[in-house]
Amino acid sequence: MIDLNAKYENVLAALRTQIPFEPEICIVLGSGLGDFADKVETVKSIPTSSLPNYPKSTVQGHNGYLHFAKYAGKKLLIVQGRIHFYEGYKLSECLIPVHIAAKLSSKLILLTNAAGGINPNFEPGNLMLINSFNGIQIKKEITEVLGLASLDAKNNFLDFPSKLFNNRIKQAALEEKIILKEGVYFFTKGPSYETPAEIKMMQKFGGDAVGMSTYHEAVYASYMKMKVGAISCITNFAAGLSPTKLTHSEVMETAELVKKDFERLVKKVIELV
């Protein structure tokens, strides 16, 4: 078993000497959605490269910063620069931002991502509230971090994602008049995008959107007793559902188009939670 408390003790010690406050809400920004960090009052931005042992984010659109910020009177930790399996990192490394948020006493975490749309009613540019996850591919890795079937780990999914949080996200969308789809996020480790056959399988297994992040962060956050909310930005039709070839630039371009709605939605969510 991997003990994240021991693994990240020195990162937390380094952080505690410089943070302006303990955040109430942590927001993890997905691919292309990093601009949100500029839309709120930043009190202190810490480059993750200045922190000991912090994995380096290698993906375009994922600059590594921990922003301590304020909005609507709430204290925020905004994570810009996620760590992914497809960059060659292990689960324990991917979980570092969530571990930091939990240890700094955040009670809520809003996870956001870019995802491919599997549900035929979705199109690029839609925002989707994640109402459940399929992460069957990495149950083994999860066990290595959470331990074997401890009572806590077993009873982890009674309110997951948090109903209260999700209701607030729906309310925020209504108030801001933003169309919010809803569905199941199907996780894959990558590194490549899916084949059309894999997407057909995910569709049969109830997936509405597909992506390479978030699932494990949500599981660990819930294990660390945080309330989890999660939103996907549907950036493309999943493989086989459109004749064009999927690229990271397409993902980034669509995220760019949605970012105004995304910003309004997330700001309203912060006001309401």
Q: Among 91, 251, 266, 273, which residue interacts with ligand HPA (rule: CB under 6 A)? A: 251
The residue written with tokens 């945080």 in the block is 226
Q: Among 226, 235, 258, 266, which residue interacts with ligand HPA (rule: CB under 6 A)? A: 235
Query: Please, what's the b/e burial string for 10-26 (b: 16 or more CB within 10 A of its CB; e: otherwise)?
Result: ebeebbeeebeeebbbb
User: Is 185 in the active site?
Assistant: no
By beta-carbon proximity to ligand HPA, the closer residue of 106 and 194 is 194
By beta-carbon proximity to ligand HPA, the closer residue of 115 and 228 is 115
The answer to whether the beta carbons of residues 141 and 203 sit under 8 Å apart is no
By beta-carbon proximity to ligand HPA, the closer residue of 69 and 210 is 210
Least distance between ligand HPA and beta carbon 236 (Å): 5
The answer to whether the beta carbons of residues 18 and 46 sit under 8 Å apart is yes
Least distance between ligand HPA and beta carbon 9 (Å): 33
User: Is 162 in the active site?
Assistant: no
At residue 218, what are phi and psi to the nearest 5 degrees?
Answer: -65, -45
Report how far residue 89's alpha carbon sits from residue 87's, in angstroms, rounded to the nearest whole number. Answer: 6
User: Is 232 in the active site?
Assistant: no
Least distance between ligand HPA and beta carbon 13 (Å): 34
Report how far residue 24's alpha carbon sits from residue 104's, in angstroms, rounded to the nearest whole number. Answer: 9
Site for ligand HPA in 98-117 (CB under 6 A): 114-116
Instruction: Say whether residue 246 binds ligand HPA (CB under 6 A).
Output: yes
Residue 53, by phi and psi: left (phi above 0), alpha (psi -120 to 50) or beta? Answer: left
SS3 86: helix
Neighbours of 42 (CB within 10 A): 15
Report how far residue 91's alpha carbon sits from residue 145's, in angstroms, rounded to the nearest whole number. Answer: 8
By beta-carbon proximity to ligand HPA, the closer residue of 102 and 115 is 115
Q: Which of 37, 62, 172, 173 is catalytic?
A: 62
Convert residues 193-232 into a mask of x (bound to ligand HPA by CB under 6 A) and - (unbound): xx---------------xxx--------------------
Q: What tokens does 250 get? A: 């397409």
Q: Which of 14, 24, 248, 253 is catalytic?
A: 248
The answer to whether the beta carbons of residues 82 and 57 sit under 8 Å apart is yes
User: Is 202 in the active site?
Assistant: no
User: Is 67 in the active site?
Assistant: no
Convert residues 143-182 into a mask of x (bound to ligand HPA by CB under 6 A) and - (unbound): ----------------------------------------
User: Is 31 in the active site?
Assistant: yes
DSSP 27: E
Q: What tokens does 82 get? A: 């996620």
By beta-carbon proximity to ligand HPA, the closer residue of 35 and 271 is 35
User: Is 236 in the active site?
Assistant: yes
User: Is 216 in the active site?
Assistant: no
Distance from CA of residue 198 to its chain's centroid?
22
Residues of the shown chain interacting with ligand HPA in the complex, contacts defined by CB under 6 A = 114-116, 193-194, 210-212, 235-236, 238, 246, 251
Which residues are designated catalytic?
31, 62, 84, 86-87, 114, 212-213, 236, 248
